[in-house]
Amino acid sequence: MKKKLISLLMIPILCLFAVCSFHFVKADTELGMVQVNLHTDGQLENSDVLKNMPITLTSTTDASQTFTLTCEDNSNVIKTKKTIPLGDYVVSFQLPKNYEALSGVYTNGPRTDTYVQNGNVVTLNEKYAYNMIYINIKEREEPQPVEKYGKVEVNLHTDGKLVESDVLKNMPVTLVSKEDSSKTYTLNCQDNSNRAELENVPFGEYIVSFDIPEKYEVLDGKVGSGVMGNYLQNGDTIAVDSEYAYKQFYINVKEKKEAATDNGSQNHESNENASSSNDSKKQESKDPNADKKKSKSVKTAVFVNSLFFVSLSLFTGILTILFYKKTKKS
């Protein structure tokens, strides 16, 4: 009876053991390994991109069941152990700022795989080999602004006319970018034409800067009938906005007449001062002879006066003697 009771008790124990064994075996066969390969332009290259881009697998049947795969080096490959249950998963990842994901097919010998995009669903069904996931990216190329260039021509007029002179040759005209004052472009005239040209000037607005020669002044007003606009002043702004035609601008100058008059007066005064100075010097150089002549004249005058008084005294004496003799005879 005792043996029979023990046998009856062993039956549920064996059944429980069998169920547990079946459960553990089943659980083990439902786990798989995953390998993530990150390609750059279709090639597996060493970089730190995947190391900074964790891959998350989220079960399609249980959103709370997630697995995050991380790369520990610059190999751009992640290999997990047999720890992820087989099934369908949503792949999610956050690309670095300057990268973008590429689609397409990856072929490696007889094996062909489709590159996975963020949000795609993958099926893990390999029990004994890695379940492969391929992601392809490339560095995003920021569109570079297309810079356009124009041509500029400056014409220097004198009293409203284009005449040959060396004024513009000695008066460089500088264009200073309003957007970036460190960008400057200088127009130089190489001859007496009073015209200067410059190509390859980037589109934009520029401040016109120049220094007028000392004897000249800038005039304003319209260029000709006004069709060509107005004459520019120092500090005015122009816009370079044409690739095919010169941006022409005009500067009008005239010679300062008052400056010439002042110079003439100064020269006249200088000449007068020089003449006066020369006269003074001449007079100073003649002073010694003049003193001698003056001294001689004084001596002559004294001598004549003395001679006069002596003659007068002799004449008076003679008259006195004659008068005395006449008186004595009578």
Residue 194, Ramachandran bin (φ over 0: left; ψ between -120 and 50: alpha; else beta)? left
Q: Where in the chain is the domain with CATH 2.60.40.10?
A: 32-139, 149-258
Q: What is the pLDDT of residue 290?
A: 56
C-beta of residue 9 within 8 angstroms of C-beta of residue 17: no
> For residues 55 and 134, what is the distance between their CA atoms, to the nearest angstrom?
11
C-beta of residue 178 within 8 angstroms of C-beta of residue 238: no
Q: What is the CATH number of domain 149-258?
A: 2.60.40.10
> For residues 122 and 129, what is the distance between their CA atoms, to the nearest angstrom?
15
Q: Which two tokens stand for residue 229?
A: 């606009």
Q: Which two tokens stand for residue 102?
A: 């590429």
Q: What is the pLDDT of residue 24?
A: 45
The string of DSSP codes covering 244-310 is: SSEEEEEEEEEE-HHHHHHHHHHHHHHHHHHHHHHHHHHHHHHHHHHHHHHHHHHHHHHHHHHHHHH
Of 152, 43, 57, 41, the C-alpha closest to 99 is 41
Print pLDDT tens along the chain (330 aa).
555 556 655 665 665 655 455 444 444 448 999 999 999 999 999 999 999 999 999 999 999 999 999 999 999 999 999 999 999 999 999 999 889 999 999 888 888 889 999 999 999 999 888 999 999 999 988 888 888 999 999 999 999 999 999 999 999 999 999 999 999 999 999 999 999 999 999 999 999 999 999 999 999 999 988 888 999 999 999 999 988 889 999 999 999 986 444 455 555 555 555 555 555 544 544 455 555 555 666 566 666 667 776 677 777 778 777 766 766 665
Q: What is the pLDDT of residue 197?
A: 95
Grouping H, G, I as helix, E, B as strand and the rest as coil, residue 174 is strand
Q: Which amino acid is at 113?
A: D
- The residue with tokens 């009771």 is 5
CATH of 32-139, one of 1.20.210.10, 2.40.110.10, 2.60.40.10, 3.30.70.20: 2.60.40.10
Grouping H, G, I as helix, E, B as strand and the rest as coil, residue 5 is helix
Q: How far is CA 316 from the centre of its chain?
A: 115
- The residue with tokens 């920021």 is 142
Q: What is the pLDDT of residue 142?
A: 80
